Amino acid sequence: MSSAEEIARGAKAAFEKSQLVPASERINALHVIRRELEAHKAEILAANVEDLKAAQVEVEAGKMDNAMLSRLNLDKGDKWDSMLQGISDVAALPEPTGKVSYARELDDGLELYRVSCPIGVLLVIFEARPEVVVNIATLAIKSGNAAILKGGKESNRTTLLLSKAISAGLAKTSLPSTYIQTIQTRAEVSSLLDMDRYIDLVIPRGSNSLVKNIQNNTRIPVMGHADGICSVYIDESANVDKAVRVVVDSKTDYPSACNAAETLILHESVLTTIWPKVAEALLAANVKLLCDAPSLAALQSSSVSAPASASIAPSTDADYSTEHLSLTIAVKTLPSLQAAMEWINAHSSHHTDSIVTESDEAAHIFTRGVDSAGTFVNASTRFADGFRYGFGTEVGISTGRIHARGPVGLEGLVTYKYMMKSKGAKGHIASEFGAGKKAYKHAPIEASSVPF
């Protein structure tokens, strides 16, 4: 096996060589890889059965939960077919590279173009679901990036064969063989996280602890999110039916997703009006309410009764900075919109926060004043998602502010470079410009691609 440094160097070399391969060949590679996967379906699913058997032993020993076991299964429902369909879907998306976003004629015959291009080498680390190796390889190839992929050890047998099919596909194209590589050990990941000379972006997809650990152990930029602490704020002017619908959907539509609400903030004026109805609906949906003193008191003096004694409990400070990822919500009462925004800015993970309000002014203030990637009005936090936003596919959701923020589509996997060409008879030099000499024209050029 290659050392981590050889793998990283190989990825960088593959990236550099691939820059002259036309985008059409990358799309061709995706179709070839799909056919390779189809041709090896039986072997891959047999390996997956082995992974599942080993995982079953872990589950019985109490070392793995059933949710992870279920995510491992590549033959469940239409998972295999949608993995393959995903390849074709991504292949058909608009080309993200080669797009001109700025073009100027600086002088007669001196043209400048800012053009989108791949970032370089991606290191992607994920857990459990083996099909992610195919999803990520597909996105990397489509966007022109080389990638090094590391799956969870529980899916090693499956990802090994998926990777083999990807490599076999690449070998039938003019893309370099080290364009997509897979690694198996944590030791390799640790070594790679040091190699900022070769690796340009790290994308961790998995648990909070996986992401935090990576963020704390590399100088390479990391794209993604550790926490997803989203909140819904019920404003004094909220409509009760909208409040019930938005809160229940934000919490219960898919509680283990990062865009599920973890905190409910109440304007104090809704404590005896809207809050009991929202609480009733949440309790009916089996949600556990962790309440601050005012919201607890309001329930106790209302007709709302908990279906089980444990479903309403006093909250602790820690509950407001915890991503429960389950049917649990922490409830906080505050005296004003301003206080709610300050609370959210201090406690949320800057992912997505929603206000329920009938006031256009409150909607305006909340969407500007809350410093999160998504600020919503009368809409569930669950809409924060690349597919729902219309990106066609999603690389992940970023809570960073740099480069890409919120749900990230293929655009998040490209950067840009500036290409400049002099058509002048003598070339162009800078010392001919300045006071008393030539002035820059900066005339806009209409161009969607670079003409040279």
Which residues in 243-262 contact its own copies (CB under 8 A)? 245-246, 248-250, 253
Tokens of 448: 């969607």
What is the rounded distance in angstroms from the CA atom of residue 401 to the CA atom of residue 381?
19
Q: Which of residues 59-118 bind its own copies (CB under 8 A)?
A: 104, 106, 110, 112, 114
- Is 421 one of the binding residues for its own copies (CB under 8 A)? yes
Q: Assign 440 to helix, strand or coil.
A: coil
Q: Are 375 and 357 spatial neighbours (Cβ–Cβ below 8 Å)? A: no
- Is 161 one of the binding residues for its own copies (CB under 8 A)? no
> What are the beta bridge partners of residue 32?
none
What is the rounded distance in angstroms from the CA atom of residue 293 to the CA atom of residue 334?
11
- Is 239 one of the binding residues for its own copies (CB under 8 A)? yes
- Give whichever of 71 and 382 is closer to its own copies, judged by the CB atom: 382
- Give whichever of 41 and 421 is closer to its own copies, judged by the CB atom: 421
Tokens of 175: 């893309």
One character per residue 207-226, x = contact with its own copies (rule: CB under 8 A) = --------xx--x-x-x---
- Is 241 one of the binding residues for its own copies (CB under 8 A)? yes
- Shortest distance (Å) from residue 43 CB to its own copies: 30
Looking at residue 245, the DSSP 8-state letter turns out to be: H
Q: Are 150 and 188 spatial neighbours (Cβ–Cβ below 8 Å)? A: yes
Q: Are 380 and 242 spatial neighbours (Cβ–Cβ below 8 Å)? A: no
One character per residue 336-355, x = contact with its own copies (rule: CB under 8 A) = -----xx--x----------
Identified binder of its own copies from the candidate list 43, 65, 108, 371, rule CB under 8 A: 371
Task: Work out whether strand 396-398 and strand 406-408 pair parallel, antiparallel, or are unpaired.
Answer: antiparallel
Residue type present at position 35: R
- Give whichever of 25 and 253 is closer to its own copies, judged by the CB atom: 253
- Shortest distance (Å) from residue 342 CB to its own copies: 7
Residue type present at position 237: S
- Shortest distance (Å) from residue 272 CB to its own copies: 22
Q: Are 225 and 404 spatial neighbours (Cβ–Cβ below 8 Å)? A: no
Q: Which of residues 38-67 bind its own copies (CB under 8 A)?
A: none
- Give whichever of 109 and 294 is closer to its own copies, judged by the CB atom: 109
- Is 20 one of the binding residues for its own copies (CB under 8 A)? yes
Smallest CA-to-CA distance from 420 within 99, 110, 59 is with 110
- Is 35 one of the binding residues for its own copies (CB under 8 A)? no
Residue type present at position 362: A
- Is 282 one of the binding residues for its own copies (CB under 8 A)? no
What is the rounded distance in angstroms from the CA atom of residue 199 to the CA atom of residue 423?
36
- Is 309 one of the binding residues for its own copies (CB under 8 A)? no
Q: Is the dihedral of CA 391, 396, 397, 400 positive or negative?
A: negative
- Give whichever of 62 and 94 is closer to its own copies, judged by the CB atom: 94
- Shortest distance (Å) from residue 44 CB to its own copies: 26
Please count the residues of this chain forming the interface with its own copies, following the rule CB under 8 A.
Answer: 82
Phi, psi at 255, each rounded to 5°:
-60, -25
